[in-house]
């Protein structure tokens, strides 16, 4: 592990090159993962990125923007290969002062050559991704509505700003629920669903996206109710032949599947930490159309015919991180 | 009958939705010989790993059958031990809770009609109580001599009948699939008769390995390799499967089988077929099988006098391996002192197609070799002309592309590169792509993948009866020739008998040290 204090981007590139030669083992890189986190969340982001990197050979670049009002721009960097940040290559960069607004100047030369770039904001994402150059050069952009002060409003923002290639971890967190529901539907027959209800902790964005998905696929609008959580606690569906199907989870670990006429079953449905959904995100790097359909249905905004790329919009404002 | 197990289309499933896993229809996995090693080390842990990845259907039961005085609870306890010891994913009570209560056991021996009636009845009961819809996969984890009796019992009780059960009924057979053409045909006829041919899954666990599947991706998803993947550029191909272990406690089975039937007939010929086959018209089971079959029927074996040179058998003698003394094969417990069974085999095969005309495929396998390794090495021809002085390229060998199947899954490319310095000197360097190491921890075990595929009814990674038949037609004449000869001796801990080195040396080549 190399640590550089008050350094420059060129020095970081050099140090990474040296570390790679020193490590001797240069494996195939599938992508570069750029992580944007603020100081309070950087440890959490590191753990998650390490977990994701264990499943997908990638170079992890963690960007921490600090003290944007500092008078002098400054860059500190930590480079590790096969160290505490997992088996791959990782660089943690802390940027101070005006440099924080030009993070791409350090990050661009560090991207692994000609492989896709995924940018993940672990924290509140910019209102428009075009404001953050780290999002503009990325092929996939991963936001996390659950990190926002108002997650439901954050979904609305994401829908307004949507461009193919955007996804949100709130959607990823709904995958296990969707898998169970789809599995249950495999044997439900062809009866129409007449009503649906989703219970979740207040303002749970995954519940809204799950509702959007049900609307997009089944054409029904699910009633959203609040519960004590954690996360989504129940999905209830009623079919036109009066069959009831419900999946409920109150402990965050395992779910009870109930269906009229069938013995109740207990199934594992564990809440996942940030690393696993992130690893799931990195599995596929093409636009996620079912996400767009669910987001569109959840927010009522039309998302098709958006441009496929963004152009950076300069905004000299202090981002949320500070 | 509906191949998907009687399911209508599901409005929640969208082909574009790649996040949702392929989950099989509700079903039972019936394991014959569930008290055995394979179930303990591989099958039960694989089931747990599937559960922990959320890949089991809501209605799912493991039904064990063995000659043990077990209750459901005993079986559950045994399964719990097996899983805690061997599962790939970490132990979690929540995942276990999903399986517990869905593990059932029926005691009995294979010739016991009552026991099979009970098994059949239990399956019928589970249909209601556990919602398995009459779907069942039968895993025959039993010695091959027991196949016929188990299959006949299933026929008698009607358990193998798709129509009668109202779902699908599939059977999984472990190698060896017979011991020659004749016996394998009889076995195939029996199993195809009891089940329907498309419901028979023959497990070759090598095909479940990620690297083997990656071979297809490497060859058919890229433009870089296909143009040189032929006799114009390829000098020879070496396929090695080496084991450092001896025969362990399998003396009775092994002595009757030998390396050629145990490994060459299935794993090595499958790897050869995947390496040599033409591009399938699609990635479907039928299309891939058609291409593999063409190769297997085009394989040419050494004939006449050539056999002495190009079909070498070996048997290990005592020696030292990894710092420990290793017994010779004849001293192993249970092996007759005059046994002529081979523990090593190396053969030069030809693939008689336009693509491969004149390219020898050297395949070898053995026990008590220096290390455990499986790899496919494609050795390219030397450049037809070198503009350098002869002394400059003395240490330049053939370019090689090596697919490392295990361990250290990945790909190595060996090519010439200039030695840094003022003189022009070219030598070989190896470039490694590590598919494995730290990154494969999260990739599934072969059995996990294969058990899942059986339940999904996807036979892409399973050899078909015709392939097995074609493979035996390659092995049988070799066995016939070997029957009158004693195997060559080699010391435990060395790379096979000298005769195997001579075999490549007369062709002006040498074995790659894996």
Is the separation of the CB atoms in B436 and B446 below 8 Å? Answer: no
**Tens-digit pLDDT string for chain B (514 aa):** 334 444 557 888 888 888 888 888 889 999 999 988 889 999 999 999 999 888 888 889 999 999 999 999 999 999 999 999 999 888 988 889 888 888 999 999 998 999 999 999 999 888 878 878 889 999 998 888 888 899 999 999 988 888 888 889 999 998 888 889 999 999 899 999 999 989 999 998 888 888 888 899 899 999 999 999 999 999 999 999 999 999 888 888 899 899 999 999 999 999 999 999 999 999 888 999 999 999 999 999 999 899 999 999 999 999 998 888 999 999 999 999 999 999 999 999 999 999 999 999 999 999 999 999 999 999 999 988 888 888 888 888 899 999 988 877 888 999 998 888 888 888 888 888 876 544 545 667 889 999 999 999 999 899 999 999 999 999 999 999 999 899 999 999 999 999 999 999 999 999 999 8
DSSP A162: -
pTM of the model: 0.85
Residue A215 is assigned to a structural domain of this protein: yes
Chosen domain end from A169, A196, A216: A169
In sequence order, what are the residues at sequence separation of 6 or more whose Cβ sits closer than 8 angstroms to the Cβ of residue B166? B6, B133, B134
> Which of B6, B7, B10 would you mutate first to test chain A, the one with the most A CBs within 10 A?
B10
Distances (CA, A) of B436 to A30, A285, B6, B209, B442: 13, 21, 39, 12, 10
Instruction: Judge if A196 and A226 occupy the same domain.
Output: yes
Is the separation of the CB atoms in B382 and B398 below 8 Å? Answer: yes
Which residues on chain B place their C-beta less than 8 Å from a C-beta of chain A?
7-8, 10-14, 16-21, 23, 25-26, 51-52, 54, 57-59, 92, 94-95, 97-98, 129-131, 133, 432-435, 437-439, 441-442
Neighbours of B208 (CB within 10 A): 22
* Count of H-run helices and E-run strands, chain A: 10, 14
Secondary structure (3-state) at B371: coil
Residue A16: closest CA among A112, A95, A135:
A112
To the nearest whole angstrom, how far is the Cα of A306 from the nearest Cα of chain B?
A: 19
Instruction: Judge if A48 and A112 occupy the same domain.
Output: yes
C-alpha to C-alpha distance for B358 and B381, rounded to whole angstroms: 12
Of the candidates B25, B52, B94, the beta carbon closest to that of A186 is on B25
To the nearest whole angstrom, how far is the Cα of B456 from the nearest Cα of chain A?
A: 13
Block residue for tokens 């060998």:
B397
Residue A318: its pLDDT value, please? 57
Strand locations in B84-204 (E): 103-107, 136-140, 169-174, 200-203
Block residue for tokens 């869905």:
B102
Instruction: Judge if A122 and A160 occupy the same domain.
Output: yes
Strand locations in B333-406 (E): 344-351, 360-366, 373-380, 400-406
Is the separation of the CB atoms in B203 and B325 below 8 Å? Answer: no
Handedness of CA B67, B68, B69, B74 (dihedral sign): negative
Residue A160 is assigned to a structural domain of this protein: yes
To the nearest whole angstrom, how far is the Cα of B441 from the nearest Cα of chain A?
A: 8
Query: Residue B429 has which token pair?
Result: 């360097």
Q: Using a CB-CB distance cutoff of 8 angstroms, which residues of chain A are in contact with residue B97?
A: 254, 266, 268
> Per the structure, how many domains does chain A have?
2
Instruction: Judge if A7 and A121 occupy the same domain.
Output: yes
Instruction: Judge if A144 and A254 occupy the same domain.
Output: no
> Which of B12, B429, B456 would you mutate first to test chain A, the one with the most A CBs within 10 A?
B12
Q: Using a CB-CB distance cutoff of 8 angstroms, which residues of chain A are in contact with residue B217?
A: none
Of the candidates A179, A253, A265, the beta carbon closest to that of B20 is on A179
Q: Using a CB-CB distance cutoff of 8 angstroms, which residues of chain B are in contact with residue A218?
A: 11-12
DSSP B227: G
C-alpha to C-alpha distance for B195 and B193, rounded to whole angstroms: 5
Residue B435: its pLDDT value, please? 66
Domain coverage including residue A34: 2-169
Secondary structure (3-state) at A145: helix
**Can you tell me the mean pLDDT for A190-197?**
90
Q: Domains in chain B, ordered, with CATH?
A: 27-174 (3.40.50.720), 208-505 (3.30.360.10)
Is the separation of the CB atoms in A229 and A201 below 8 Å? Answer: yes
Radius of gyration of chain B, Cα coordinates, nearest whole angstrom: 25
Beta bridge partners of B349: B361
Neighbours of B24 (CB within 10 A): 26
Whether residue A26 is predicted with pLDDT greater than 80 in this model: the reply is no
C-alpha to C-alpha distance for A79 and A91, rounded to whole angstroms: 5
pLDDT in tens, A134-157: 999 999 999 999 999 999 999 999
Q: Using a CB-CB distance cutoff of 8 angstroms, which residues of chain B are in contact with residue A239?
A: none
Beta bridge partners of B313: B345
C-alpha to C-alpha distance for A294 and A288, rounded to whole angstroms: 10
- Which alpha helices (DSSP H) does B242-383 contain, by range? 251-259, 269-276, 285-298, 306-310
Q: How many CB pairs under 8 A join A and B?
A: 110
Instruction: Assign residue A210 a region (left: φ > 0; alpha: ψ between -120 and 50; beta: otherwise).
Output: alpha
- Which alpha helices (DSSP H) does B8-92 contain, by range? 37-38, 44-52, 72-86
C-alpha to C-alpha distance for A87 and B262, rounded to whole angstroms: 37
Residue A293 is assigned to a structural domain of this protein: no
Instruction: Judge if A15 and A138 occupy the same domain.
Output: yes
- Name the residue of chain B whose CA is nearest to A173's CA: B19
Q: Using a CB-CB distance cutoff of 8 angstroms, which residues of chain A are in contact with residue B25?
A: 186-187
In sequence order, what are the residues at sequence separation of 6 or more whose Cβ sits closer than 8 angstroms to the Cβ of residue A153? none
* Inter-chain touch A257–B58, beta carbons under 8 Å: yes
Of the candidates B20, B95, B432, the beta carbon closest to that of A178 is on B20
Instruction: Judge if A165 and A183 occupy the same domain.
Output: no
To the nearest whole angstrom, how far is the Cα of B56 from the nearest Cα of chain A?
A: 9
Query: Residue A175 has which token pair?
Result: 């995958």
Residue A266: closest CA among A173, A180, A179:
A180
- Name the residue of chain B whose CA is nearest to A58's CA: B439
* Inter-chain touch A179–B16, beta carbons under 8 Å: no
Residue B448: closest CA among B53, B75, B32:
B53
Instruction: Judge if A24 and A158 occupy the same domain.
Output: yes
Block residue for tokens 């005691």:
B107
* Inter-chain touch A25–B434, beta carbons under 8 Å: yes
Residue A279 is assigned to a structural domain of this protein: no
Residue B167: its pLDDT value, please? 85
Whether residue A322 is predicted with pLDDT greater than 60 in this model: the reply is no
* Count of H-run helices and E-run strands, chain B: 16, 18
Sheet containing A223-226: order of strands: A223-226, A193-200, A232-239, A244-248, A254-259, A262-268
Residue A34: its pLDDT value, please? 96
C-alpha to C-alpha distance for B311 and B83, rounded to whole angstroms: 42
Instruction: Judge if A64 and A210 occupy the same domain.
Output: no
C-alpha to C-alpha distance for B24 and B3, rounded to whole angstroms: 12
Residue A132 is assigned to a structural domain of this protein: yes
User: Of all residues in chain A, what percent carry a pLDDT higher than 70?
Assistant: 97
* Inter-chain touch A187–B94, beta carbons under 8 Å: no
Chosen domain end from A121, A144, A169: A169
Is the separation of the CB atoms in A234 and A249 below 8 Å? Answer: yes
Is the separation of the CB atoms in B188 and B469 below 8 Å? Answer: yes
Instruction: Judge if A58 and A179 occupy the same domain.
Output: no
Angle separating helix axes B269-276 and B210-220, nearest 10 degrees: 20
Residue A122 is assigned to a structural domain of this protein: yes
Neighbours of B358 (CB within 10 A): 11
Residue A232 is assigned to a structural domain of this protein: yes
Instruction: Judge if A158 and A201 occupy the same domain.
Output: no
- Which alpha helices (DSSP H) does B299-376 contain, by range? 306-310
**Can you tell me the mean pLDDT for A56-82?**
90
> Which of A183, A211, A285 would you mutate first to test chain B, the one with the most B CBs within 10 A?
A183
> Looking at the annotation, which residues of B are catalytic?
267
Instruction: Judge if A24 and A128 occupy the same domain.
Output: yes
Chosen domain end from A137, A169, A201: A169
Residue A57: its pLDDT value, please? 82
Residue A304 is assigned to a structural domain of this protein: no
């Amino acid at each position: 592990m190399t640590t550089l204090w008050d350094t420059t981007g060129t020095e970081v590139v050099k140090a990474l090159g040296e570390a790679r030669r020193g490590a001797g083992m240069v494996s195939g890189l599938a992508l570069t993962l750029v992580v944007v986190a603020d100081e309070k969340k950087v440890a959490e982001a590191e753990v998650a990125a390490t977990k994701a990197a264990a499943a997908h050979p990638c170079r992890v670049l963690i960007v921490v923007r600090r003290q944007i009002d500092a008078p002098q721009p400054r860059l500190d960097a930590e480079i590790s290969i096969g160290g505490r940040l997992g088996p791959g290559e990782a660089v943690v960069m802390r940027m101070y002062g005006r440099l924080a607004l030009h993070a791409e100047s350090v990050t661009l030369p560090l991207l692994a050559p000609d492989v896709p770039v995924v940018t993940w904001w672990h924290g509140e994402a910019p209102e428009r991704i075009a404001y953050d150059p780290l999002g503009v050069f990325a092929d996939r952009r991963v936001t996390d509505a659950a990190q926002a002060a108002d997650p439901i409003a954050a979904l609305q923002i994401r829908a307004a700003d949507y461009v193919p290639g955007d996804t949100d971890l709130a959607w990823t967190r709904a995958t296990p629920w969707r898998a169970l529901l789809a599995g249950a539907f495999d044997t439900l027959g062809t009866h129409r669903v007449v009503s649906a209800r989703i219970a979740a902790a207040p303002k749970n964005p995954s519940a809204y996206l799950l509702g959007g998905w049900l609307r997009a696929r089944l054409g029904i609008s699910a009633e959203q109710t609040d519960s004590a959580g954690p996360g989504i606690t129940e999905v209830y569906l009623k079919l036109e032949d009066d069959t009831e199907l419900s999946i409920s989870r109150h402990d965050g670990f395992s779910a009870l599947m109930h269906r009229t006429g069938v013995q109740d079953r207990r199934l594992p449905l564990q809440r996942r930490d940030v690393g696993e959904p992130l690893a799931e995100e990195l599995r596929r790097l093409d636009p996620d159309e079912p996400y767009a359909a669910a987001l569109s249905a959840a927010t009522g905004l039309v998302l098709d015919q958006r441009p496929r790329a963004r152009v950076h919009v300069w905004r000299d404002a202090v981002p949320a991180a500070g | 009958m509906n191949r998907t197990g009687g399911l209508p289309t599901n409005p929640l499933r969208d082909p574009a939705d790649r996040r949702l896993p392929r989950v099989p229809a509700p079903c039972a996995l019936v394991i014959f010989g569930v008290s055995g090693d394979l179930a303990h080390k591989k099958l039960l842990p694989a089931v747990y790993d599937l559960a922990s990845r959320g890949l089991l259907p809501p209605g799912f039961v493991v039904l064990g059958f063995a000659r043990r005085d077990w209750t459901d609870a005993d079986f559950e306890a045994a399964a719990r031990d097996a899983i805690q010891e061997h599962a790939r994913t970490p132990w979690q009570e929540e995942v276990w809770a999903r399986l517990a209560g869905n593990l059932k056991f029926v005691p009995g021996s294979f010739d016991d009609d009552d026991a099979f009636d009970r098994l059949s009845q239990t399956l019928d009961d589970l249909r209601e109580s556990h919602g398995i819809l009459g779907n069942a996969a039968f895993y025959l984890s039993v010695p091959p001599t027991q196949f016929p009796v188990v299959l006949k019992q299933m026929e008698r009780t009607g358990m193998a009948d798709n129509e009668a059960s109202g779902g699908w009924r599939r059977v999984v057979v472990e190698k060896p699939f017979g011991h020659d053409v004749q016996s394998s045909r009889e076995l195939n006829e029996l199993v195809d008769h009891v089940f329907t041919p498309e419901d028979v899954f023959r497990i070759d666990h090598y095909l479940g390995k990620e690297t083997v599947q990656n071979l297809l991706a490497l060859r058919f998803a890229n433009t870089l390799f296909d143009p040189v993947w032929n006799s114009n550029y390829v000098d020879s191909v070496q396929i090695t499967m080496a084991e450092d272990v001896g025969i362990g406690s399998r003396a009775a089975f092994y002595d009757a089988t030998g390396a050629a039937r145990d490994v060459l007939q299935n794993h090595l010929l499958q790897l050869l077929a995947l390496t040599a086959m033409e591009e399938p018209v699609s990635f479907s089971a039928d299309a891939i099988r058609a291409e593999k079959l063409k190769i297997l029927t085009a394989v040419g074996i050494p004939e006449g006098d050539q056999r002495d040179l190009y079909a070498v058998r070996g048997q290990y003698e005592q020696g030292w391996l990894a710092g420990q003394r290793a017994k010779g094969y004849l001293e192993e417990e249970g092996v007759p002192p005059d046994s002529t069974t081979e523990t090593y085999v190396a053969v030069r095969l030809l693939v008689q197609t336009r693509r491969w005309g004149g390219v020898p495929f050297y395949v070898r396998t053995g026990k008590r070799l220096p290390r455990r390794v499986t790899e496919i090495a494609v050795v390219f021809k030397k450049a037809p002309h070198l503009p350098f002085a002869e002394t400059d390229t003395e240490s330049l060998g053939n370019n090689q592309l090596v697919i490392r199947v295990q361990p250290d899954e990945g790909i190595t490319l060996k090519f010439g590169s200039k030695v840094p310095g003022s003189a022009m000197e070219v030598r070989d360097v190896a470039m490694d792509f590590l598919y494995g190491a730290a990154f494969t921890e999260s990739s599934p075990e072969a059995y996990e993948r294969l058990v899942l595929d059986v339940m999904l009814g996807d036979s892409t990674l399973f050899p078909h009866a015709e392939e097995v038949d074609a493979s035996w037609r390659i092995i049988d004449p070799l066995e016939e020739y070997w029957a009158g000869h004693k195997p060559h001796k080699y010391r435990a801990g060395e790379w096979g008998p000298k005769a195997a080195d001579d075999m490549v040396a007369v062709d002006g080549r040498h074995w790659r040290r894996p």
